[in-house]
Structure formats: C-alpha cells, structure tokens
Amino acid sequence: MITAGVPAAVIALGIRCGKLQNRFIPDRRARSPLAIISILAAATALCVLPMMGAPTLVYRAVLATMLAVAAVGIVSVWWKISAHTTIASLVAVAVWSWTFWGVVAIAVVAAVATSRVILRAHTVWQVIAGVILGGAIGLAFFVLA
C-alpha cells in the first residue's frame, strides 16, 4: 500500500492542483521528482516490512522496484523511457522465475508495450528500452540472485 498508494496520492493531488496533466505524466521533467517520492515510499515500506514478518522475496521485490524507478527517473531527465514497460517487464521476469504463469506475464508485457505505442505515449524505442531495463533488473534480482 505504501509503495503504490503514496505516489498515486501525490499524482492525484498534482492533477487536482494543476501541476500535472494526467496520471500518465507525459511531461518527462515531472517524472524525476515523482521517482524520488516513489523511492522514499518504498524505503518506508522496507522499514515496515520487518515488523510485518515479510519474507525475503518481498524485500527483493521492493528493492528491485526501487532500482527500476530510480533508473527510469534518471533516464527521464534526458529521454522519456516507458515506466509502464519497465515495471511490466520486471514483474514478468519475477513471475517467470517463480511459476509457469511467466508465459502469461510475457504476453502482458507485449500488450502493455503495444498499448503505449498505440496511445502515442511512447515511441517503439522508448518501450523497447523499458522492456530491456525492467528485464535486466528482474534477471538481477530474481533469476541470478
């Protein structure tokens, strides 16, 4: 709840106050501050997880997400990489490493990537870069770890 709820609330407030255009954050300059907020929310979650007795896999998932958000935030300073495909790809690799549902997860990544291009939210190269980034982080945290 913390890792998704806090950034979602900040985005909703930004839209309501007129600071953000919509929930997809089309202005890449607005993405880095939101990445910082997301990372701080995830860091807070990491502090709460021990009190909840969370398994190691949950820690890895939060850390991998933090790294992905940080990387997207850094890249977004210069180029609008797709955060959607980054996270979708990260999740797909994680799911692939746990269960046979990974095949379905790969199909979801393809659907997300296609939708981002069809909606003209990103170029083909921006979604491909997101898939590669998320996949690499997923490999590091869930397959090679």
HSE on the CB side for 22, CA within 13 Å?
Answer: 3
37 neighbors 7 (Cβ within 8 angstroms): yes
Contact 88, 108 (CB under 8 A): yes
| Segment 97-117 mean pLDDT | 92
Q: How many residues are given for the chain?
A: 145
pLDDT digits (tens, 9 = 90+) for 83-106: 999 999 999 999 988 788 888 999
Q: What is the band of 3 on the pLDDT scale with cuts at 50, 70, 90?
A: confident
The DSSP secondary-structure symbol of 99 reads -
* pLDDT for position 27: 85
- Rounded to an integer, the average pLDDT of 115-123 is 96
Residue owning tokens 């898939």 = 131
Query: What global pTM score does this model have?
Result: 0.90
CA distance 106 to 102: 6
Query: Of all residues in the chain, what percent carry a pLDDT higher than 70?
Result: 100
How many CB atoms are located within 10 Å of the residue 60 CB? 15
Q: Extract the tokens encoding 8.
A: 């979602």
Kindly report, residue by residue over 48-84, the tens digit of the pLDDT. 999 999 999 999 999 999 999 999 999 999 999 999 9
Look up residue 77 and give its DSSP letter. Answer: T
Give CA–CA dist 67/73, Å, rounded: 10
Give the pLDDT confidence score for residue 100 in this predicted structure: 82
Mean pLDDT of the chain: 93
